[in-house]
A = this chain, B = another copy of it.
Amino acid sequence: MSLPATTRAIAVYPDHPGAVHRTEIPVPQVGPTGVLVQTIRVGVCGTDREIIHGALGTSPPGSRELVIGHEVLGRVVAVGDQVHDLLAGDLVSATVRRPDGCPACVAGQPDMCIAGDYEERGIVRQHGFMTEYWVEDRAWIVPVPKHLESTGVLIEPLTVVEKAVRQVDLIQERMAWWQPSTVVVLGAGPIGILGTLLLRARGIDVTTVARTPQPNPAASIVEQAGATYVSSREVSLDALRNQRGNIDIVLECSGASTLAFEGMHLLGANGVLVLLSLTDAGRMLEVDAGRINTGIVAGNKTVVGSVNAGHEDFAQAVDDLGRFESLWPGLLNRMFTERLAFDDDVTSIARKDARGIKTLIEFDQTR
């Protein structure tokens, strides 16, 4: 096939937030280490909605618009001269963040960037993947095995919890004894569900807490994976704390900043609370500073924030998606509660569907 010169895409105007529009952008040249990819599908996440509504998002230099989308599965179309480990037709995804020159980035951990001048595809100064074709350097391409064709679009959101759980593992190497057996996941959106599955796959007792009472699709998925779903409208977190004994890990993926502080209360001795939600400033909350502080001190507890993910998290997510599929066949596909074609009315992605879990934009593979 001849390589496309332009590609259709879904973009926002960061200076005029509130809506998405269709656009057409040039397809970059494929350099010696480049990979040209045709998109199969892209997942929509909370960050995309925040970009649409103007809470974050920066256009590439010289552009008024920003193509969104950072959860992608695609197929290799062509590779540069120096790329010898990918063939046309191979499935791939890509990491999101590109390093700046800070020492953490130079040391290979752009997800731990200390300077903050990184770029992110679909978020900060680089177009995203909600486009028919895109080019990326081999360094940021994640090969995806063929058996993950239906679920591989979940690799990027899964990396968020892979990094979170890896941080817990690394931090707790400080303990002579650490056998986490009880986890609470706050939130049952895609990140909460994937966090639940990751910890269930380790055999840990997981309680997943979200507002919506049962029955609902998220509750059904986490319970099929052996977790307990609890509606916070029916059981208070204090009651949960008393029921569950020492809670070793809390993953905060609700998107509600107040739950970061509830999580500090909930966490047991020697436990780790991982905060994963980027939230807006200005949400004021009255806390019992004395109780939270002394609980953390006397319990040797840790609270850690985690954003983005590293290469090892992408590799681990590829492995774990396969494990999830073996453990719970068909379960991941139930997360895809809406599929839109590129030519459908995609303006609806600006709204969060209270009943849905993950919206996908499906790209026409015959074009």
Contacts and interface: CB of A to CB of B under 8 A. Distances in A.
Interface stretch (A75-83, A166-174, A198-206, A335-343): A166-174
Contacts of A170: 171, 173-174
A270 B104 CA distance: 9
A261 to B, nearest CB: 6
Most chain B C-beta atoms within 10 Å of own C-beta, residue among A103, A116, A289, A293? A293
B302 A104 contact: no
A269 interface: yes
A190 to B, nearest CB: 17
A288 B278 CA distance: 13
Contacts of A289: 257-258, 260-261, 279, 283-285, 287
Contacts of A299: 305, 307
A87 to B, nearest CB: 31
A106 B116 CA distance: 44
A287 B284 CA distance: 6
Contacts of A175: 104, 109, 112
Contacts of A305: 293, 295-302
A298 B282 CA distance: 16
A272 to B, nearest CB: 9
Contact of A171 (B278, B279, B302): B302
Nearest to A175: B112
Interface in A127-146: none
Contacts of A269: 113-114, 116
A277 interface: yes
A3 B299 CA distance: 40
A281 B298 CA distance: 13
A276 B179 CA distance: 25
Given A287-B289, A302-B303, 10 more contacts: A104-B176, A113-B269, A114-B246, A114-B270, A116-B269, A279-B293, A282-B291, A284-B289, A295-B305, A303-B304
Interface of A: 103-104, 106-109, 111-114, 116, 167, 170-171, 173-177, 179, 246, 257-258, 260-261, 268-270, 275-307
Given A108-B176, A171-B174, A175-B109, A290 B300 contact: no
30 contacts: A103-B179, A104-B177, A104-B270, A107-B177, A109-B176, A109-B177, A112-B300, A113-B269, A171-B171, A257-B290, A260-B292, A261-B287, A275-B296, A277-B293, A278-B297, A278-B298, A279-B297, A281-B288, A284-B287, A284-B289, A285-B286, A286-B286, A286-B287, A293-B305, A296-B303, A297-B307, A300-B306, A302-B304, A303-B303, A303-B304
A69 B64 CA distance: 68
A265 to B, nearest CB: 11
B281 A284 contact: no
A33 to B, nearest CB: 22
A335 B301 CA distance: 31
A281 B287 contact: no
A139 to B, nearest CB: 16
Q: What 7 A-B pairs are tightest by C-beta distance, nearest first? A: A296-B305, A283-B290, A107-B176, A170-B174, A107-B177, A281-B291, A297-B305
Contacts of A276: 297
